[in-house]
Structure 1
Amino acid sequence: MIDGADDRLPERIQTPRLLLRRWQHDEASMLDNLVESNVKHLRPWMPWIKFEPQTVSERVTLIETWTREWEDGGDVVLGTFLDGFAIGSCGLHRRVGPGALDIGYWIADDHTRRGFATEATSALTTTAFGVAGIERVEVHTDEANEASAGVPAKLGFRRDRVIQRAPEAPAESGRLIIWTMAKADWR
């Protein structure tokens, strides 16, 4: 099930086990607790973790920024909820150019290896291809992050190319794998 309006990316996606929906400003404490309890798990791979710790007030501002970007037709950042509890975050991003969206995701350490990232990414891919003009979806993973790379591989994304770049997080190799899925090839 997909809910959306105007040229905005959908703000709510239901999967068999998960609810993916936009973060609300009154959930800043929930997001704060989720990130804080996963800093060690996220630090090796997520460049944005270098800005941690943040205050709850800073999280409110961050969520409000995500909301404004979404309202203006930009990216959508979604909480990943299981039985009403936040277990991660994901999103659709317009940063890869016209006709394409990029999917980002992370799952809390105590919920990894249960298929939640794959389930969310599958739903995000289906959702992306329901957006007018989207013909390609990408997932970017560092070559050293085998767990994250397993997600697009399981879903049939094609390993399109590798880009050399300076590592942005401590465990990164500097070799960014670009996984792609064409709309014509999706299920």
Structure 2
Amino acid sequence: MKATKLKHLPNILTSCNMAIGILVICSMIHNDSLSDRKLACYLVYVAVVLDGFDGYFARYLNASSDMGKQLDSFADFVTFGIAPITIFISGLKFIPWYVMLILLLYSLAGGFRLARYNLQNHSEYFTGLPITASGFIMVTVLLIRSYLDREITGIFLILFLILTVILSILMVSKFPVKRIIKNKKGYK
């Protein structure tokens, strides 16, 4: 009976990941204070941990499923494809069209990356930069900036947009990225 209940753990962790992403997005819509942006970045870090554990436990408990794979991709898209962009936008007073275009391209690249992943066979390598790593990099840069400067400066805006373009290209690229976590039976 316990083993059957544990098989739901990966999807519960994935749902918590998605809930964090939704919470970050909703909170950034109504709160644009510096402390709120810092908290949002820390919440995305929690989601990174949950994302690592959901896949690990799915493999360890032999509870991998197509449903879990799709749910994980939706959660990752919300939490690592949209939430970091929302955190960034919440710090801007005015958003020029070209900034929105670059940020849109990031989310589209993340969606493409996740769709391609769902069609691949699992191996010891990912193809392209995982969206979780990309979202982690974005919120880390935003968090560091929040401790250094209260406002988003013009120079930071340009550097962040360049980073966004680079991460977008890396997500859709075809270079192999070695998996960090493997289970007792190897990679799945």
Q: For the superposition of Structure 1 and Structure 2, which TM-score range results when normalised by the shorter chain?
A: under 0.3
**Structure with more helix by fraction:** 2
**Structure with more strand by fraction:** 1
Question: Whose relative contact order is higher, 1 or 2, with alpha carbons under 8 Å and at least 6 apart?
Answer: 2
